[in-house]
Amino acid sequence: MIFDHVLALTLVGLAWRLLSTSHLFKAVVLFITFGLLLALAWVRLEAPDIALAEAAIGAGLTGALLLDARARLEPRDDVPDIAPAGSGPPAPDASH
């Protein structure tokens, strides 16, 4: 049960980070991690079929698509992309 609590918290934390980080590349990598951990959650929920699909499609395929798109959309690697002031979650610059 403790494991599940940790997993749930990690998922929420990861989601928070991946949606608010100022670096697109980092965001995509975080998203792939998020997908893999989500697959773990599916296993805990006794849904191995979904876990497999999540790992292969949710994390793998979607991740690959996102990485490819990022490379084409922002070729000059990580241009900081901070949401307009006051409208987004606080920029997490303080933590890294």
Using CA atoms, how far residue 55 sits from 11, 24, 43, 51, 87, in Å, is 15, 21, 11, 6, 33
Q: How far is the CB of 95 from other proteins (least distance, A)?
A: 17
**How does DSSP classify residue 59?**
I
38 contacts 54 by C-beta, under 8 angstroms? yes
Residues at the contact surface with other proteins, assessed by CB under 8 A: 1, 4-5, 8, 11-12, 15-16, 18-20, 24, 27-28, 31, 34-35, 38, 41-42, 44-47, 49-50, 53-54, 57-58, 61-62, 65-66, 68-70, 72-74, 81, 83-84, 87-89
Which C-beta is closer to other proteins: that of 61 or that of 77? 61
Least gap, CB of 94 to other proteins (angstroms): 19
For the chain, helix (H) and strand (E) counts, in that order, are 4, 0
